[in-house]
Structures are given as C-alpha cells and as structure tokens.
C-alpha cells in the first residue's frame, strides 16, 4: 500500500465522445482517493484545455456540459507538474503563483486521446508515474482491429472480423456493402475501430441497413470493423488487475443487461444501458442528446431503431438467485447481474481468458475485458477497456477490494511500472560527437 497523503492528479473529460462518462468516473475516483490522499482534479475540457482545482470535484459545476471552475493549467514537460497557464511567464517567475506538484496521475479519461496512448505519452514525457498501460498497450487495446490482431495471434478466441477504410468506402459505398454481404451472413455488427460506449455501433439485420451504418461509422472513425452477430447467449465482463510480468488477478464477473434502459438501443448494449440507469439517469451523461454534439444517446440511426431486440435472453429476465442488480451513477449505474449467472465452469473460463487477454495486450492497472457468449456457449473476447467505467470498482468490491483499496493498489502498480521503466537504460555513450568535432573542419556536420 502506498504511503498516505500523496498528491494524486485525476485526469478526466477530454476530447472524446466519452467526455461526459469520463467526468463521472473521474469524480468517483476523486472521492475514493480523498479517504487517504490529496486528489487534484484535472479537467480536460472539450477543446483540450486543462483545468485544475478542488472546485472541479463538484458535479454541479458540469451542469452545462463543461466546467469553468478551477484554473487553466499546462503540463510542465519534463518537470511533471502543472503550471497555471496565464501565470507562466509572469507571476510564476516572480514567485507569486505556485506550480501544482503531483506524485502520480490517475487517468479516468475514456476514449480518444485519453485511453489510446496520447495522454499516456504526454505523461511519459513529463516523467510522471500514471495508472494504466503504457503508450503501445493503450493504443492496441483502444483499437479494435489491433486488439483482434494481438488476441488472435495469442491464440485467444475472438469473433471473425473484416475491416473497411473510410477512403475505400467513399470511393465505392455499394462495393463496401457488397463485400460485407459476401463475407458474412446477416445480422452483422458495424462499429468504429477506436471508439467506445457503443457510440456509432450498429446491428444490421438487413442489407438495406448497411449504408446508414457505414456512413455513421465513418463519420466517427477512419476504420470500421464488421463482425457477425454473436447472439443467443449472454454478454459478460470481467475486470483484471496487474501489470506486465506479474500474474494478473480477475474480479467477479458481471452480466450487463441489454435493453434495460428501454431506450433506442434495445437488443444490444446501448449507451443508455451502460450509463443511464434505466434511461432515467441524472448527471452529465443524461444530457447527451440525439442529433446533438454527442451522437451517443439514441442518436445512432442504424443502431437503435433497427436492432432486432430480444437477442439477449437475460434482458428483462429474473435475476438468478444471489445475483444483485446494481444502480447508481456512471458505469456503475447500469443494470447488471453480479455475479454473472453463467455457472462455475464458464465463470472460471471467462476469468482465465480475461487474464490472458490482459497479459497479451500488455495491460497495466485495471482493465475490463468484455465477452460475448453465443447460443452454444462458445466464449468470444469482444474487447479490453484499459480505463473501464467507474474503474470497475463495483466488480472489485464484491471481490473483497473496497474502492479506496483499489485506488491504492492502482497507485502501487503505477509506481512499480515507473521503477521498471527506470531500470531500462536510455543512455548509450559514444565518442561519436567528440571524434566528429575533432576531425571536422569548421562547424559543418
Ligand atoms: N459481434 C457482436 N455480436 C453481438 N453483439 C455485439 C457484437 N459486437 C458488439 N455487440 C454489441 O454492441 C455493444 C457495443 O460494442 P463494443 O464492441 O463493445 O463497442 P464499444 O467499445 O463501443 O463498447 C456490445 O456491448 C454488444 O452489446
Ligand atoms: Mg464494449
């Protein structure tokens, strides 16, 4: 367990379609950290500007979809601290504005620029320890195509797939739809390669659905992934804790319930199912509007409206004995059964595969590995989220790890990763420059 009283930066928000959800995850982490540490909320707004300050921990300050609380700051590379931005050249130099020092950073930034290696890269340059995988692993896990490549190479079970590029779709839209039909029987799932929270995901049951689904997908991403629908069974998720080189630990499994929101996404897990607590959820996530800046909630034309429904037999079913239906805010607010009522054997296999996927991708910190189980009981790894909603704390609590302890464990993992990095030599001493300088005439190389 790390010593108490650490200055823990908690980054959330960001230029991502998951901006709103990330605020919820971030504020949950700030609260859990407050028991033992000094969390510093760092809000990255929709333009990419950073703000810091304790006022940012108030959910009410995001009522209009963003917060102007706290002060604008810049990440100081390579010193690893935050500088009040307007003070940089003036007040700071004259000693009137204090830089904000950080010991470690917790990333609660879901999706683009926050979960895909970008922010991780900035923190590497800043020399700050941070929670989560390093740049390469974060990028691989965020990109569904790279994830498929890594997991299938490791011999792990994934659904079949094909990838389409925006440029080729724009050149020949009919050809793209025909290629999908030639490869797979419908229904298929069409999804952006690098998004999350079901944004832009469509289930296409008829050939006439494909054009809309692809158009939507390519508005949101450059690469689109198409998969046959894995249906008739259940979806289950399992969270994993660890870091490369150390045997990871799996949490209890959950079965999220599709269609519980009664919203547009009935039939598969929609944005509303995931975050909006039966469609009635409060907080920033509820502000996402169809057709608005955030295309998430119900705004996916092909997605909700044409979803076949009823694919998940557990939707609306009676929870198995002992399973709890969750409630609350953020990812934690979705309807789910914990533990997933899939039997001891399948549970053990899901947990084993979750650890192997975590390991194959080189994950660190806490991830959530999501699975699709078909009607025959075959298990497919769907994806790995390296910054899972609510840090999956609702899966760790019933696994015997309270949220505050989970945060401490994540901080420990961040420091361990930092130490491991420090063991790698970056210096390669040569006489190249002195020899060149001695031999060279004048200043030319
Ligand atoms: N091949 C598939 N078969 C059945 N359902 C799928 C398939 N792919 C995605 N889904 C459904 O769509 C949801 C979102 O897709 P997912 O691949 O998890 O993307 P995201 O990163 O947006 O969560 C899943 O939770 C699942 O309900
Ligand atoms: Mg998913």
SS3 6: coil
SS3 143: coil
Q: How far apart are CA 324 and CA 248, in angstroms?
A: 26
Q: Which ligand is nearest to the CA of 217?
A: 1
Q: Residue 208 has which token pair?
A: 């006439």
Strand partners, 7: 38
| From 99-108, 263-272, 420-429, the region with the lowest mean pLDDT | 263-272
Query: pTM of the prediction?
Result: 0.85
In this prediction, residue 435 carries a pLDDT of 87
| 30, part of any domain | yes
Taking residue 362's Cβ as centre, other Cβ atoms within 10 Å add up to 18
pLDDT band at 55 (very low <50, low <70, confident <90, very high): very high
Q: Which of 21, 201, 235 to mutate to test the pocket of ligand 1 (most atoms within 8 A of CB)?
A: 201
pLDDT band at 442 (very low <50, low <70, confident <90, very high): low
Strand partners, 82: 75, 100
In percent, how much of the chain has pLDDT > 90? 69
pLDDT band at 294 (very low <50, low <70, confident <90, very high): very low
Which atom of ligand 1 is found nearest the CA of 188? 1
| 150, part of any domain | no
| 315, part of any domain | no
With a cut of 50, say whether residue 266 has pLDDT above it. no
| 414, part of any domain | yes
pLDDT digits (tens, 9 = 90+) for 149-205: 999 999 999 999 999 999 999 999 999 999 999 999 999 999 999 987 788 999 999
Spacing, Cα 194 to ligand 1 middle (Å): 13
Q: Are 56 and 87 in contact (CB under 8 A)?
A: no
Please state the domain count of the chain.
1
In this prediction, residue 199 carries a pLDDT of 86
Q: How far apart are CA 102 and CA 280, in angstroms?
A: 37
Taking residue 326's Cβ as centre, other Cβ atoms within 10 Å add up to 18
Residues with Cβ within 8 Å of residue 44, at least 6 apart in sequence: 11, 12, 13, 14, 15, 50, 51, 109, 114
| 427, part of any domain | yes
What is the chain's alpha carbon radius of gyration, rounded to the nearest angstrom?
23
What residues does the ion ligand 2 have nearby, CB within 5 Å?
Answer: 370
Instruction: Please list every protein residue whose CB sits less than 6 Å from any atom of ligand 1.
Output: 159, 189, 191, 195-199, 201, 227, 229-231, 235, 258, 268-269, 370, 372, 382-383
With a cut of 90, say whether residue 85 has pLDDT above it. no
With a cut of 50, say whether residue 374 has pLDDT above it. yes
Q: Are strands 223-228 and 379-385 parallel, antiparallel or unpaired?
A: unpaired
| 408, part of any domain | yes
Range of the domain at 55: 1-131+402-445
| 241, part of any domain | no
Q: Which of 146, 196, 269, 371 to mutate to test the pocket of ligand 1 (most atoms within 8 A of CB)?
A: 269
| 82, part of any domain | yes
Supply the CATH number for residue 42's domain: 3.40.50.20
In this prediction, residue 329 carries a pLDDT of 56
In this prediction, residue 443 carries a pLDDT of 66
**Which element (helix H / strand E) includes 266?**
none
In this prediction, residue 131 carries a pLDDT of 98
pLDDT band at 425 (very low <50, low <70, confident <90, very high): confident
pLDDT digits (tens, 9 = 90+) for 236-263: 999 999 999 999 999 999 999 876 554 4
């Amino acid at each position: 367990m790390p010593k108490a009283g650490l200055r823990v930066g908690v980054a959330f928000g960001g230029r991502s379609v998951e901006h709103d959800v990330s605020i919820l995850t971030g504020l949950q982490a700030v609260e859990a950290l407050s028991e033992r540490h000094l969390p510093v909320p760092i809000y990255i707004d929709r333009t990419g500007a950073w703000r810091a300050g304790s006022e940012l921990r108030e959910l009410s300050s995001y009522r209009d979809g963003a917060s102007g609380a706290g002060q604008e700051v810049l990440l100081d590379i390579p010193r690893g601290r935050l500088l009040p931005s307007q003070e940089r050249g003036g007040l700071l130099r004259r000693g009137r504005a204090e830089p904000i020092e950080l010991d470690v950073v917790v990333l609660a930034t879901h999706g683009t620029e926050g979960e895909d290696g970008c922010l991780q890269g900035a923190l590497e340059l800043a020399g700050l320890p941070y929670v989560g995988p390093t740049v390469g692993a974060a990028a691989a896990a965020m990109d569904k195509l790279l994830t498929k490549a890594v997991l299938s190479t490791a011999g792990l079970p994934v659904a079949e797939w094909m990838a389409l590029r925006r440029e080729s779709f724009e050149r020949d839209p009919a050809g793209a739809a025909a290629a999908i039909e030639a490869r797979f029987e419908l229904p298929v799932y069409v999804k952006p390669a690098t998004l999350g929270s079901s944004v832009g995901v469509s289930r296409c049951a008829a050939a006439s659905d494909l054009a809309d689904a692809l158009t939507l997908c390519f508005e949101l991403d450059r690469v689109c992934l198409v998969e046959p629908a894995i249906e008739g069974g259940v979806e289950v998720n399992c969270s994993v804790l660890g870091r490369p080189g150390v045997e990871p630990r799996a949490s209890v499994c959950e079965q999220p319930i599709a269609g519980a929101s009664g919203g547009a996404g009935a039939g598969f897990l929609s944005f509303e199912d995931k975050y909006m607590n039966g469609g009635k959820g409060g907080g920033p996530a509820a502000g996402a509007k169809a057709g608005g800046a955030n295309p998430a909630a119900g705004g996916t034309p092909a997605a909700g409206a044409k979803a076949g429904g009823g694919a998940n037999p557990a939707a609306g079913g009676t929870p198995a004995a002992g399973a709890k239906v969750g409630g609350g805010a953020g990812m934690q607010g979705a309807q789910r059964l914990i533990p997933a009522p899939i039997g001891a054997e399948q549970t053990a296999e899901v947990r084993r595969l979750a650890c192997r996927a975590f390991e194959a991708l080189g994950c660190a910190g806490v991830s959530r590995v999501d699975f699709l189980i078909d009607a025959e009981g075959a298990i497919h790894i769907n994806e790995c989220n390296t910054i899972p909603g609510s840090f999956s704390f609702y899966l760790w609590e019933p696994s015997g790890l309270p949220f505050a302890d989970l945060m401490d464990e994540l901080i420990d993992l961040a420091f361990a990763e930092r130490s491991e990095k420090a063991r790698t030599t970056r210096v390669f001493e040569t006489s190249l420059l002195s020899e060149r300088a001695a031999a060279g005439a004048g200043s030319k190389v």
